[in-house]
Amino acid sequence: MLRIRGSIGDWPVDLTLELDEGDWAQLGAQLGAQLQAAKPEAAASAAKPASQDDALWQAAKDLLRKAGQISGPQLLEQLEGLTGSAAAGKRLLVRLRHCAEVKVVSGADTPLYSWVQ
């Protein structure tokens, strides 16, 4: 069973698909064929310069590395300033929370983000 939830424009979508073994095998075969066809494109895209997202991610890690330790709200404020967007700043904060190079501990009032490497 596969459940797809989201929206299309203003319309909510909640779709459940039931697939048997043959359907899963066919889907897997099609995905495998698409991956094989995409390999030359992936090699070409690897030669491209880093995207803006990669540059922002690196800048976010550098910001925390230089700070050593910083509270969540302060870090979020700096990330929002870096990206120019509250949503993009929050995405980077979540990404940092799950980064192996970052340790997050619960402080008295707010989480503390620390660079560990």
Q: What pLDDT digit, counting tens, does each position of 15-58 carry?
A: 887 878 887 778 778 877 777 777 665 555 555 555 778 888 99
Are 115 and 63 a contacting pair, CB within 8 Å?
no
Single out the residue of 74, 57, 82, 72 nearest to residue 104, CA to CA.
Answer: 72
Domains recognised in the chain with CATH numbers: 2-46 (no CATH), 52-115 (1.10.10.10)
Single out the residue of 110, 76, 74 nearest to residue 93, CA to CA.
Answer: 76
Residues 6+ apart with CB under 8 A from 100: none
pLDDT at position 10:
86
Sheet containing 102-106: give its strands across.
69-71, 111-115, 102-106
Residue in the structure block whose two tokens are 């910083």 = 70
pLDDT at position 53:
80
Q: Tens digit of pLDDT for each residue in 53-110? A: 888 899 999 999 999 999 999 999 999 998 888 999 999 999 999 999 999 998 788 9
What's the CA gap between 85 and 98, in Å, rounded?
20
